[in-house]
Amino acid sequence: GIYTVLVEGDDFNEPVADAARSILDGHIVLTRQLASAGHFPSIDVLSSRSRVRDQVVDRAQRDAANEMLRLLAAYREKEDLIAVGAYQPGSHPVVDAAMRMHEPINEFLRQAPDEHQPLQASREQVIALAARAAGGSR
């Protein structure tokens, strides 16, 4: 089944949500920040988890997804510096790749309500994005 835990004021560490996360097979975190930016579904993939992912995807898809998460995390870590222009390109290769791939990854993560994407197409797309990030192409 699917359970929903709503938290007040976006406090994801309150006791009920924290307890639910500890016993469920995974959790999807929706954020007001992404929704306000017009990013739908507003899933914060860095805060969301699946404990069964590695049992239901193949190695290529898992590795590609891990690369996307690594790039998203690197971008988030340096986001303030990037926003004010203080990040110096070339100082950190992973952040450079994260900056280059930020929009393509976010475009992949967006989906209109009437848009349908077959699982195989999503798999191929995430693998292609990871290959593109590794290859350094735009």
Q: Which residues contact 10 (CB under 8 A, 6 or more apart)?
A: 31, 32
- In a shared domain, residues 80 and 38: no
Tell me the pLDDT tens digit for each residue of 62-71: 999 999 999 9
Contact predicate 48/26, CB 8 Å? yes
Q: How far is CA 101 from the centre of its chain?
A: 12
Query: Is the domain of 16 the same as that of 80?
Result: no
Please state the separation of Cα 64 from the chain's center in Å. Answer: 12
Boundaries of domain holding 45: 1-52
Work out how many domains the chain is built from and give that number: 2
The model's pLDDT over 49-106, given as tens digits with 9 standing for 90+, comes to: 999 999 999 999 999 999 999 999 999 999 999 999 999 999 999 999 999 999 999 9
Q: What is the pTM of this model?
A: 0.88
DSSP 3-state of 27: strand
